[in-house]
Amino acid sequence: MYKIFGINNCNTVKKAINHLDNSGLKYEFINFKKTPPTKDQLKTWKDAFEDWPVNKKGPTYRKIKEDFEAATAAKKYQILMETTSAIKRPILMKGAKVIHFGYDEEAYGKLK
């Protein structure tokens, strides 16, 4: 079973969920607003993303950019746990493995 992390009012997350639904794939949706990510989850995503898993194009990130970029690693984890709208989404996982960041129809089309 897949896990998809995001915010339910995000259009990109909606596209990803619709794709999973239309493909008949089983998944669990984890809403950042109700269940913020843990430091361990953020570290897993950071390692998979090879950078901080932030949506640098989004308005939330632009609001926190200066503080985030000046912060220590420990503080960056705290900022992202508290400001979940700044995290790139959706994040699709299967077990402990990150499958995909964002939504890409072709990538999701290869899921089984």
Q: Residue 55 belongs to a domain with what CATH number?
A: 3.40.30.10
Average pLDDT over residues 6-19: 95
Contacts 24+ apart (CB under 8 A), 64-71: none
What separation in angstroms does the CA of 37 have from each of 24, 25, 97?
Answer: 26, 23, 15
pLDDT computed for residue 18 by the predictor: 96
Q: What would the pLDDT profile of 51-105 be if each residue is shown by its tens digit?
A: 999 999 999 999 999 999 999 999 999 999 999 999 999 999 999 999 999 999 9
pLDDT computed for residue 38 by the predictor: 96
By the 8 A CB rule, do 64 and 38 touch? no
pLDDT computed for residue 52 by the predictor: 97
Q: What would the pLDDT profile of 24-44 be if each residue is shown by its tens digit?
A: 999 999 999 999 999 999 999
Radius of gyration of the chain (CA): 14
Count structural domains, the chain: 1
Which residue range is the domain that position 18 belongs to?
2-109
